[in-house]
Amino acid sequence: MKHSSQVQDLAQHLDGKRLLLSEIPLRKEVLKQVLKKGFLKTESGLETVGNQLKCRRCGNDDRTLFGKHVCARCQTTCSYCRHCLLLGKISSCQQLYSWCGPERTRPSVDRSLKWEGALSPGQKKASEAVRKATLKQQELLVWAVCGAGKTEVMFHGLETAFAKGKRVLIATPRTDVVKELYPRFASSFPQIVISALYGGSKDRQPNAQLVLATTHQTMRFYKAFDLVVIDEVDAFPFSYDKSLQYAVQQAMKQTASTIYLSATPSTTLLATPNLEVIKIPRRFHGFPLPIPRFQWCGNWQKAMRKHKLPSPLITWIKAYLQTKKPLLLFVPSISTLHHVSTLLAKLSLEHASVHADDPNRHQAVQAFRDKNISLMVTTTILERGVTFSDVQVAVLGAEKDVFTEAALVQIAGRVGRKAEAATGDIVFFHFGISKAMRAARAHIEMMNNEGGF
């Protein structure tokens, strides 16, 4: 085997990545040769900042998220990062390798977009802003209401980027989003090599021009991308956002542009210096966002302890079940979900339920989509990223902390998404109106206002 071809292989394998030695298939002599040439950069996996450990791969600097072990590699007691353990253990005696030899160029692909749909006026404006952001280094937020059609807003910008041989990352905290986006991009850009990365997926296209990845999978990339799109950046609590932000910072080239997509941007994001903001205040179909109603339902937890569901909720459910419209009922916790489910069964109200750890959740969601089930009880897992035609939505215990302003805006955003069923009911059943409930309603009213309603 010739060394030079192995060096080529290595360059390709490491292209835009930062990996542990165990992740690089190569012989020692080749490694020596490449190191001598100065083509490989090595950095310790864990660094010490002040007197604090920091993981270079995931950015974790939380003392409690480091472990100590008697290490077979260095024969001492050394530290390792628990936060990114899923990617393989990274200890203080290990190095991360990245390529710093001749840079690989990518082919320019002209007219790669094969999508022929039409953009709404709001989408058109945002699409132009995205295209501009791909041409000069910029941070852009596309603040699009639920149902505005934010994915299509990316298409022309991506086409421009591919025509210039640029490499693009679309990062998101959620595996579901990666899975949902992949077929849409694959059919819209048939000539572009695309890789979809999430826990358990295989990277079959290490040199893909477009990478769709979850937070964890983004952590393997290093100075790889000219354009980074971050979808659903607000989907998790701030701590989770923080590791996504770190992963993205590491994965992008210094000259890269960043585009954030969100219906409910956090105040932290909005405070980013030099952030350009473009809003799409109208839904794709042109109708306003449904405004949530507040319905007091008494001490519903106490009622449930006495094995009763609040009667305004039962009335609401029964009324809509008669109309044969699909109903989504959001509850604040998994234990409430089980309890509500038991009480609905006692009333002979047929339903299904889903939560994040539910292994059957994809089947249950499909059954609901196919209208084999009329009532679905859910935790916040279905608050975003799903469209059910003509769905009516209720929240039980809307005053609970888990229902933040963003969560409630997203939940309300499930209603009226289709042009043929553009309105619908959204009710917050509560035992005392919370600040978040008021803020969510004000948020929706503001967007409708800006949309000219």
Chain contacts with Zn ion (rule: CB under 5 A): 55, 57-58, 60, 71, 73-74, 78, 81, 83-84, 91, 93
Radius of gyration for the chain, computed over Cα atoms and rounded to the nearest angstrom: 25
Q: Least distance to Zn ion from the beta carbon of 90, Å?
A: 6
57/443 with CB nearer Zn ion: 57
Q: Least distance to Zn ion from the beta carbon of 247, Å?
A: 10
Give exposure, 72-84, as e/b (b: 16+ Cβ within 10 Å): eeeeeebbbbbbb
Strands (E), 8-51: 18-20, 40-44, 46-49
94/336 with CB nearer Zn ion: 94
Q: Least distance to Zn ion from the beta carbon of 84, Å?
A: 3
91/112 with CB nearer Zn ion: 91
20/376 with CB nearer Zn ion: 20
84/309 with CB nearer Zn ion: 84
Q: Least distance to Zn ion from the beta carbon of 81, Å?
A: 3
Q: Least distance to Zn ion from the beta carbon of 47, Å?
A: 11
Q: Least distance to Zn ion from the beta carbon of 31, Å?
A: 19
List CB contacts of 370: < 8 A, sequence separation 6 or more: none
84/297 with CB nearer Zn ion: 84
Q: Least distance to Zn ion from the beta carbon of 72, Å?
A: 8
42/449 with CB nearer Zn ion: 42
69/438 with CB nearer Zn ion: 69
131/216 with CB nearer Zn ion: 216
- Residue found by looking up tokens 């949530």 in the block: 292
Q: Least distance to Zn ion from the beta carbon of 347, Å?
A: 49
Task: Tell how strand 252-262 and strand 225-231 pair up.
Answer: parallel
Q: Least distance to Zn ion from the beta carbon of 374, Å?
A: 45
Q: Least distance to Zn ion from the beta carbon of 74, Å?
A: 3
58/113 with CB nearer Zn ion: 58
Task: Tell how strand 210-214 and strand 46-49 pair up.
Answer: unpaired
